[in-house]
């Protein structure tokens, strides 16, 4: 089809302005009688195609169709008319007489060779030699998640997504390609439309054409940033043809996937009494009081509060509206998308909210047959509202608040602070009554591309790309005092009701902050593409690129506002004002890179990619590195012996691939080579009351610091079977990561004074091995039921080959030789059910019946730090996978994505305490008591008083497996028959319902979502829970 487009320039257009070339045959045709042929060219659904070419075969004479698809042309009988348009199969019609034709062009699907986006270009999928996988934007759009990183988990083999939070505006998943290979940052490089470091998270899914993952050494063209894999995002572009509008509106409801069940007042009081008994004290609560908690007869004095219920809504709203326009003609194509999305927090009268507005315009234009220009511009506004108390504070409060304390008094007024030492009551703190932390983040991404085909060398072209990105995040965090009501428990008012005392809590301050981030990129590529003798395919690329990014911020604060309005800095107390700011400096990269790709007869394929890269993060004599990648492929199914044998009937295509390469990871703090001195946040006040900035050694420099180095090997195959209905791809990988930058905190004693200022040293060594696979089956039954099933999975296991470890580490404490990032734990082997157990096992002096038994690993008859042992498991799963099901029947379509993982663990310790913290119901049910001595769980504890709940004694009792299977996405749609919608002027109308995280099975993780990776101190996985979302929506095309 491309050829059709290119040759158009050579035609004489009756209606056009193209160059009129001499045509001898035109003179001949004048001598015969001509007839006028008219007609329309349409798509199968009846839409006219404007701009289609109608040419008399063998001549350069032709016309193009008008806006309604009409044409009119003079033809000699016996001549043949050819109808063509980009993206459609050409049609031909022999003309015998004057006639009015209705030509229907079928969309050309199979014949367009599938291409895959790779670094700095695209490649035919058939002759790809690297391990590359991709997912279409349309599949991502099916997820109601607001963040793309939460949508792509389970869709791609080898891509692991670990959810971090469900908070609107803060929800995201950490992405790992083929698990983790380094002890440091494992984040893959994200490249959006050729520009690195753009956000994948917040990109509008309706503008995504495809997401491609480079998993192996084919990423070496990205050099020292490629070792963790590269994710390439390509946005949609306009297609020539009638302007097509698609509008979509989806509304949804969300709620937490899981919240832990906690004890009620009576149960809590029972536990507190047990703590008292163990402490040798009188019980805090009498039987009568516990009875009052249980029967709820006196809600003022004996409340029974379900804190989650008091603070969280049943369902929270979200919505997503989007309109895209796509269309154009041969010379100018545009794609425009406008979106608006919003999501409410889980809280009642929530101070937590997120809204996003997107505008994208991608324009492609052709100046002449040699020069084309593309300009892409996108603007995004991310509006985040948060409570002034962090959501982790609020959820921690909800989990820990005592049930026998009121959230709200029976008369509706908010209750007292959670305890005497706090200002906290989440009933108020989750709402704007305590103020609001609002930020508007503006993201501008602009890039332009100039492509020149060198006329005098066939196949040679030069492309220059420039990109300018800006981010402006403007934050206004206004905390205000709020009222809480306390009651002394006895004083009654004149109305006989308890008289509440109003008090002001919280604090009053306004912090305004502006963050600016800037990035520019400029590159020039020279590419050469030739097929010689129809058998040698040569593809060459070379380029040079500069990239710079930097950021800075400043903030200003005033406290003690006299009133809640106006919330502007000058209304605060000028005696309490603070300003701050920082500019970490510029990161710059200078890159030379290239690719040599050679295919012999479409059978033997070899590719070499390279990058020579310099980075400002490192000292001048260590900053340059060369990163090569080699891959080869053999399409055995293209051999004649294969084609001629019966096996080709079963295995239609088979390609075997192998690759090796060296890449780097430079995701470390820059300037490790300097000895650095920083300003301390606190000032020193001398006797004369002057305030002095102070400086301290913040980094002991390491002049040799460099990127980490990865040697990646990959062997795999792609095949299609059974009439191409089944496709199978599988890869084995073996990645060796060396020069891993580690701070030697484990081996350098604190006594050196360097504990907090250790530089990164290129010392670590990790091997990461595994495999990933993808199976896809698609078929149709009776032409009416179309269905497809996709299964993907991956397994990655790493092993530390060298690591910084303390000299005195015992064998069972070493990381070396085992999977990395696992912690030291005491091994909990049960509970001391009876005194006999205590006598039997070595134990700490303070241990008693009902405590957790720590295993005496060292066998010395004592429990000491020597008995801590590594588990060799961590929060990143070894096994991950996804199962996609989709089918279409009679206008109905159904898509389901199941996601699963296995092999990861998470530390989830019960909180709980006598004066301040509630306990989990699961703990209450299973705990040891004198009456239940054979319990699985230990006795009731108070905060971290007992050795087995102390943060210094992490133990496997609290370690839970996070294995799960969940129905991640579900979408059911129905497309109204076109006969009906055409009548109301629409082309297509589809209604759909769907959901996210609708169902989860996780046998060992019941109180919390198994997918959530805890942030903060991570004691019990507190933090904003993940979302379960149900949606309904409508999509209209016109």
Rank residues 527 and 735 by Cβ distance to another protein and give the closer one.
527
> Cβ of residue 146: shortest distance to another protein, in angstroms?
33
Of 386, 377, 380, 378, the residue nearest 340 (C-alpha): 380
**Reduced to 3 states, what is the DSSP secondary structure of residue 313?**
coil
Contact 517, 471 (CB under 8 A): yes
Rank residues 444 and 677 by Cβ distance to another protein and give the closer one.
677
Neighbouring C-beta atoms of residue 493, cutoff 10 Å: 9
> Cβ of residue 924: shortest distance to another protein, in angstroms?
21
Rank residues 340 and 551 by Cβ distance to another protein and give the closer one.
551
**Reduced to 3 states, what is the DSSP secondary structure of residue 751?**
helix
Rank residues 749 and 817 by Cβ distance to another protein and give the closer one.
749
For residue 314, what are its two tokens?
């049943």
CA torsion angle 633 636 640 641 (round to 10): 150
For residue 442, what are its two tokens?
């503006």
CA torsion angle 979 980 986 989 (round to 10): -110
> Cβ of residue 261: shortest distance to another protein, in angstroms?
26
3-state secondary structure 916-974: CCCCEHHHHHHCCECCECCCCCCCCCCCCCCHHHCCCCCEHHHEEECCEEEEEEEEEEE
Of 804, 640, 632, the residue nearest 714 (C-alpha): 632
Rank residues 349 and 583 by Cβ distance to another protein and give the closer one.
583
Of 395, 227, 405, the residue nearest 303 (C-alpha): 405
Give the whole-angstrom CA distance, residue 579 versus residue 36. 80
> Cβ of residue 510: shortest distance to another protein, in angstroms?
14
Residue 399: exposed, middle, or buried by beta-carbon count in 10 A (0-12, 13-18, 19+)? Answer: buried
Rank residues 865 and 977 by Cβ distance to another protein and give the closer one.
865
Which residues, 6 or more positions from 182, have their beta carbon under 8 angstroms from its beta carbon?
227, 228, 665, 708, 737, 740, 764, 766
Residues in the chain: 1038
For residue 2, what are its two tokens?
């491309």
Give the whole-angstrom CA distance, residue 16 versus residue 13. 5
Give the whole-angstrom CA distance, residue 939 versus residue 831. 9
Rank residues 754 and 1032 by Cβ distance to another protein and give the closer one.
754
Rank residues 533 and 689 by Cβ distance to another protein and give the closer one.
689
Q: According to DSSP H, which parts of 775-857 are helical?
A: 835-840
> Cβ of residue 481: shortest distance to another protein, in angstroms?
8
Contact 166, 1026 (CB under 8 A): yes
Which residues, 6 or more positions from 783, have their beta carbon under 8 angstroms from its beta carbon?
none
Handedness of CA 197, 200, 203, 206 (dihedral sign): positive
Rank residues 87 and 670 by Cβ distance to another protein and give the closer one.
670
Contact 918, 930 (CB under 8 A): no
> Cβ of residue 686: shortest distance to another protein, in angstroms?
5
Q: How many whole angstroms from its chain centre is CA 1030?
A: 20
> Cβ of residue 582: shortest distance to another protein, in angstroms?
5
Rank residues 327 and 614 by Cβ distance to another protein and give the closer one.
614
Rank residues 346 and 941 by Cβ distance to another protein and give the closer one.
941
Rank residues 4 and 858 by Cβ distance to another protein and give the closer one.
858
DSSP state, residue 399: H
Rank residues 698 and 788 by Cβ distance to another protein and give the closer one.
698
Rank residues 77 and 670 by Cβ distance to another protein and give the closer one.
670
Q: According to DSSP H, which parts of 380-474 are helical?
A: 391-400, 426-429
Give the whole-angstrom CA distance, residue 287 versus residue 34. 109
Give the whole-angstrom CA distance, residue 360 versus residue 714. 37
Rank residues 67 and 750 by Cβ distance to another protein and give the closer one.
750
Neighbouring C-beta atoms of residue 641, cutoff 10 Å: 9
> Cβ of residue 625: shortest distance to another protein, in angstroms?
12
In the chain, what are the helix, strand and coil shares in percent, each to the nearest 5? 15, 45, 40
Phi, psi of 980 (to 5 degrees): -75, -50
> Cβ of residue 454: shortest distance to another protein, in angstroms?
8
Rank residues 3 and 420 by Cβ distance to another protein and give the closer one.
420
> Cβ of residue 271: shortest distance to another protein, in angstroms?
16
> Cβ of residue 673: shortest distance to another protein, in angstroms?
10
Give the whole-angstrom CA distance, residue 58 versus residue 81. 10
DSSP string, 104-150: EPPB--TTSPPEEEETTEEEEGGG--S-EEEEEHHHHHT---SSHHH
* Residue 31 to residues 23, 54, 78, 79, 80, Cα–Cα distance (Å): 14, 22, 14, 14, 18
Contact 224, 665 (CB under 8 A): yes
For residue 463, what are its two tokens?
């492309």
Rank residues 805 and 987 by Cβ distance to another protein and give the closer one.
805
Please, what's the b/e burial string for 699-736 (b: 16 or more CB within 10 A of its CB; e: otherwise)? bbbbeebbbbbbbbbbbbbbbbbeeeebbbbbbbbebb
Rank residues 49 and 275 by Cβ distance to another protein and give the closer one.
275
> Cβ of residue 679: shortest distance to another protein, in angstroms?
8
> Cβ of residue 690: shortest distance to another protein, in angstroms?
10
**Reduced to 3 states, what is the DSSP secondary structure of residue 310?**
helix
């Amino acid at each position: 089809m491309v050829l059709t487009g290119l040759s158009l320039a050579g035609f004489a257009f009756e209606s056009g302005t193209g160059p009129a070339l001499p045509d001898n045959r035109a003179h001949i045709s004048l001598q015969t009688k001509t007839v006028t042929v008219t007609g329309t060219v349409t798509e199968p659904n009846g839409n006219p195609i404007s701009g289609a070419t109608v040419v008399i075969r063998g001549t350069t004479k032709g016309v193009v169709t008008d806006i309604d698809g009409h044409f009119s042309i003079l033809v000699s009988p016996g001549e043949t008319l050819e109808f063509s348009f980009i993206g459609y199969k050409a049609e031909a019609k022999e003309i015998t007489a004057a006639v009015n034709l209705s030509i229907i062009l079928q969309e050309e699907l199979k014949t367009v060779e599938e291409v895959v986006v790779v670094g700095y270009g695209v490649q035919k999928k058939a002759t790809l030699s690297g391990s590359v996988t991709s997912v279409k934007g349309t599949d991502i759009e099916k997820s109601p998640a607001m963040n793309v990183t939460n949508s792509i988990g389970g869709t791609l083999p080898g891509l692991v997504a670990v959810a971090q939070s469900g908070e609107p505006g803060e929800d995201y998943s950490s992405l790992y390609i083929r698990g983790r290979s380094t002890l440091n940052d494992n984040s893959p490089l994200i490249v959006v439309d050729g520009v690195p470091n753009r956000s994948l998270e917040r990109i509008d899914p309706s503008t995504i054409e495809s997401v491609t993952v480079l998993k192996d050494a084919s990423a070496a063209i990205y050099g020292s940033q490629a070792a963790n894999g590269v994710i390439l995002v390509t946005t949609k572009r306009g297609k020539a043809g009638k302007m097509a509008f698609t509008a979509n509106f989806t509304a949804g409801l969300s709620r937490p996937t899981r919240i832990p069940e906690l004890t009620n007042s009576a149960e809590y009081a029972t536990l507190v009494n047990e703590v008292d008994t163990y402490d040798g004290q009188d019980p805090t609560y009498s039987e009568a009081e516990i009875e009052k908690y249980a029967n709820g007869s006196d809600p003022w004095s004996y409340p029974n509060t379900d804190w989650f219920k008091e603070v969280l809504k049943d369902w929270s709203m979200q919505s997503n509206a989007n309109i895209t326009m796509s269309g154009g003609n041969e010379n100018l194509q545009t794609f425009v998308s406008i979106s608006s999305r919003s999501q409410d927090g889980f809280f009642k009268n929530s101070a937590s909210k997120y809204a996003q507005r997107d505008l994208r315009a991608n324009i492609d234009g052709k100046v002449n047959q040699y020069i084309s220009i593309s300009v892409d511009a996108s603007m995004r506004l991310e509006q985040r509202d948060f409570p002034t108390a962090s959501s982790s504070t609020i959820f921690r409060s909800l989990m820990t608040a005592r049930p026998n304390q009121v959230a709200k008094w029976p008369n509706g007024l908010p209750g007292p602070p959670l305890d005497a030492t706090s200002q906290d009551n989440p009933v108020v703190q989750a709402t704007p009554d305590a103020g609001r932390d609002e930020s508007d983040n503006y993201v501008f991404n602009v890039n332009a591309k100039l492509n020149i085909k060198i006329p005098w060398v066939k196949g040679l072209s030069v492309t220059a790309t420039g990109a300018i990105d800006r981010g402006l995040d403007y934050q206004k965090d206004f905390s205000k005092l709020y009222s809480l009501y306390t009651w002394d428990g006895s004083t009654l008012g004149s109305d006989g009701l308890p008289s509440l005392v109003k008090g002001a809590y919280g604090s009053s301050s306004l912090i305004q902050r502006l963050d600016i981030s800037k990035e520019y990129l400029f590159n020039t590529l020279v590419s050469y593409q030739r097929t010689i003798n129809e058998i040698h395919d040569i593809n060459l690329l070379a380029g040079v690129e500069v990239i710079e990014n930097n950021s800075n911020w400043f903030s200003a604060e005033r406290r003690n506002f006299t009133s809640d309005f106006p919330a502007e800095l000058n209304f605060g107390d000028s005696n309490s004002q603070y300003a701050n700011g920082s500019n970490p400096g510029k990161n710059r990269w200078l890159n030379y890179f290239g690719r040599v790709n050679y295919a012999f007869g479409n059978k033997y394929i070899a590719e070499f990619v390279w990058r020579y890269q310099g980075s400002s993060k490192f000292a001048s004599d260590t900053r340059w590195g060369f990163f090569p990648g080699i891959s080869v492929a053999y399409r055995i199914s293209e051999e004649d012996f294969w084609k001629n044998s019966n096996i080709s009937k079963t295995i239609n295509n088979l390609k075997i691939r192998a690759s090796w390469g060296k890449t780097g990871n430079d995701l470390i703090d820059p300037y490790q080579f300097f000895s650095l001195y920083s300003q301390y946040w606190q000032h020193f006040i001398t006797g004369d009351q002057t305030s002095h900035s102070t400086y301290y050694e913040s980094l002991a420099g390491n002049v040799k610091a460099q990127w980490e180095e990865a040697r990646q090997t990959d062997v795999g195959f792609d095949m299609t079977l059974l009439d191409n209905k089944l496709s199978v791809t599988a890869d084995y990988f073996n990645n060796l990561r060396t020069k891993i930058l580690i701070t030697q905190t484990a081996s350098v004693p604190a006594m050196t004074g360097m504990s907090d200022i250790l530089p990164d040293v290129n010392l670590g060594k990790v091997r990461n091995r595994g495999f990933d696979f993808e199976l896809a089956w698609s078929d149709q039954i009776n032409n009416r039921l179309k269905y497809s099933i996709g299964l993907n999975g991956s397994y990655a296991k790493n092993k530390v080959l060298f690591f910084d470890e303390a000299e005195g580490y015992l064998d069972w404490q070493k990381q070396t030789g085992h999977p990395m990032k696992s912690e030291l734990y005491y091994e909990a082997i049960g509970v001391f059910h009876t005194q006999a157990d205590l006598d039997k096992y070595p134990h700490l002096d303070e241990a008693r019946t009902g405590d957790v038994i720590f295993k005496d690993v060292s066998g010395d008859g004592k429990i000491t730090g020597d008995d801590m042992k590594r588990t060799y498991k961590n929060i990143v799963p070894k096994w991950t996978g996804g199962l996609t099901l989709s089918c279409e029947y009679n206008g109905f379509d159904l898509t389901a994505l199941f996601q699963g993982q296995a092999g990861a663990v998470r530390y989830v310790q019960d909180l709980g305490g006598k004066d301040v913290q509630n306990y989990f119901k699961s703990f209450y049910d299973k705990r040891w008591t004198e009456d239940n001595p054979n319990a699985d769980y230990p006795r009731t504890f108070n905060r971290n008083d007992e050795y087995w709940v102390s943060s210094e004694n992490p133990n496997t009792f609290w370690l839970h497996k996070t294995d799960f299977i969940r129905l991640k996405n579900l979408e059911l749609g129905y497309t109204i028959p076109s006969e009906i919608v055409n009548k109301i002027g629409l082309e297509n109308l589809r209604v759909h319902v769907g959901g996210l995280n609708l169902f989860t099975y996780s046998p060992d993780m019941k109180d919390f979502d198994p997918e959530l990776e805890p942030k903060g101190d991570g004691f019990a996985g507190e933090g904003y829970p993940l979302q379960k979302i149900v949606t309904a929506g409508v999509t209209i095309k016109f």
